[in-house]
Structure 1
């Protein structure tokens, strides 16, 4: 139930949380409701106590429950439409990139170069674009994330119940993920399991980095060689866990970082490929295998390799 004035951003709104809205974090609820409002502003109004749940102050991490009454204060947003900050290129890529869809969720072929959500200096991302092209959808939420420069399979939940069940599969490492990656240099081995714990760190420049450390979280990736080229090696990477930057850091630990990775890669190798007109990181989420959250059927969904990556391989000299 929602009790609000005709002008949604002018007066206080009190929203009663339904089953469909329950169990999500307060910040995610507000981000979805106050479309176009910067995340930093949402955090500020929660911190100042302008947003209340059951008349009391709560943290942005508070998980909403059925029957909670959320006080949403008046928020003035600069006059701009969603079309003005979700690019036409992203909208077109999303409309053409749906790999699977039913009433519970969809899987899209995420384009490289776009963040999965807005924030941290990014005005909008994949989820904002999807909400724009599907204005009738009552619920659209990311089930997991891919790096901005990674393309491929990305799951979007269309129901709260599906989101919860898919989250459980990811938490329990029951979703099989297969990526294609092009590594720098000629990798001599046919396959190798990298079992190295990963720790999130911050570099001196303020850039988020992940390092291998005994104090980090367990992380395991299986690499299989598919094709060796003159200056690179195409591999299949299967992460058994889902840590931030896992494949990128584990590939670098082999001495063969991913081509185009400007954070963990070799600058000389990246420069060589840029001179060929190739400007992105070669990491593509090819296949996801998991259990359907409703029917329990096992699904295997694959995303075709983007044309730029496919063209690059066709022009590389195989050994």
Structure 2
């Protein structure tokens, strides 16, 4: 195996404006963050032949010196599960030169992390090695399916981030609530705070000391033991729809974190083996040309079949 060599990389528009540490973390896959910070601090990484801090923001045409650092090879990469591979290759909802909208299947984390070696974004990068820039615009839960935005350019990523922080992107989810929800429409605006349960599992709780959180629930159809609703979050807190639904007294079907064990067992016997939450639609103006855009992810066949049987 050939020893790694010093590299001189010229920064393009794709990475202009990015912090040096984030750029290096993305570039040097498999290298611990502590080592990345160390080689910058020691001056082994240089920009335009000079030492810079880890929070330096890259500029177009900067020349970044990358020292010899051994990184993970593609042969060491985690195998992409067939269901995820099929989705990334055959269920792209929208794509142009600026971004992709994926139809993420349930059961896959959007990115690798604690206990997860690889996620959707890592798999997409493996499948598209020719694409120099692919970054998640937002996140959806591992158990949730549907629309997921991935930017192909840093300028587009920044614009879409601004749109998510404001009112520029309208997100619509389809969710199945336990029981018959009698209201036709309701704004839920209780604050949410991240917490950690005794078992170490991350939980989110309703709390006056939490962050403001708003979700509009609209009833679509009532069944004997459940209610199909449209959920439109105005804010984007962790597990927001799930916690707000539980606060209503009608947790999501299949929610093993905020739902009821016995109720979930009953629905599991009927075939509901996953969380019934689906990112159904995104509406926004294209950040490059301003044209209105609506992207829809149809309800997965498994969930649609179960709903049909509730009729």
- Whether these two folds match at TM > 0.5 is yes
Q: Which residue of 1 aligns with 2:69?
A: 74
> Which of 254, 263, 272 is matched with 2:266 structurally?
272
CA shift in 2, pair 1:215/1:68, >3 Å: farther
SS of 1:21's equivalent in the other structure is: coil
Q: CA deviation at 1:202?
A: 1.7
Q: What SS does the aligned partner of 2:250 have?
A: coil
Contact 1:173/1:241 (<8 A) preserved? no
Q: 1:180-195, aligned counterparts within 5 Å?
A: 180-195=174-189
Match of 2:38 in 1: 48
Contact 1:86 1:128 in 2 (8 A): no
Question: For residues 195-274 of structure 1, what are the structure 2 equivalents within 5 Å?
Answer: 195-274=189-268
Residue 169 (1) aligns with residue 169 (2): no
Q: Distance in 2 between matches of 1:72 and 1:85?
A: 29
1:137 equivalent to 2:127? Answer no
Tell me by how many angstroms 1:76 deviates.
4.7
The equivalent residue for 2:85 is 91
Aligned mate of 1:108, from 96, 99, 102: 102
Contact 2:253/2:275, CA 8 A, preserved across alignment? yes
Distance 2:13 2:73 in 1: 32
2-structure distance, mates of 1:205, 1:57:
42
Aligned positions of 1:122-161 closer than 5 A: 122-161=116-155
Measure how far apart 1:16 and its partner are: 3.8
Report if the CA contact (8 A) 2:8-2:63 is conserved: no
Per-residue deviation at 1:115?
Answer: 0.7
Q: Secondary structure at the match of 1:117?
A: coil
1:194–1:220: 8 Å Cα contact kept in structure 2? Answer: yes
Give 1:3's aligned residue.
none
Residue 73 and residue 250 in structure 1: after superposition, are their counterparts in 2 closer, same or farther (change >3 A)? farther
Match of 1:29 among 9, 23, 27: 23
Q: Please list, as runs of the form range in 1=range in 2, the aligned pairs for 1:4-19 lying within 5 A after superposition.
A: 7=2, 10-19=4-13
Q: How far apart are residue 304 of structure 1 and its match?
A: 0.5
Q: TM-score, normalised by structure 2?
A: 0.90
Q: Which deviations, in whole Å up to 9, do the C-alpha atoms of 1:165-194 show, x marking residues without a partner?
A: 111101113210100000111111111100
- What are structure 2's unaligned runs of at least 5 residues? none
CA positional deviation for 1:148? 0.5
Aligned-residue Cα RMSD (Å) equals 2.2
Question: Do 1:27 and 1:42's aligned partners in 2 also have CA atoms closer than 8 Å?
Answer: no
Which whole-Å CA distance do the structure 2 matches of 1:62 and 1:273 have between them?
Answer: 52
State the distance in 2 between where 1:251 and 1:105 align.
31
Unaligned runs of 5+ in 1: 1-5
Distance 1:158 1:196, change over 3 A: same
Report how many residues are paired.
305
Distance (Å, rounded) in 1 between the aligned partners of 2:274 and 2:16 = 39
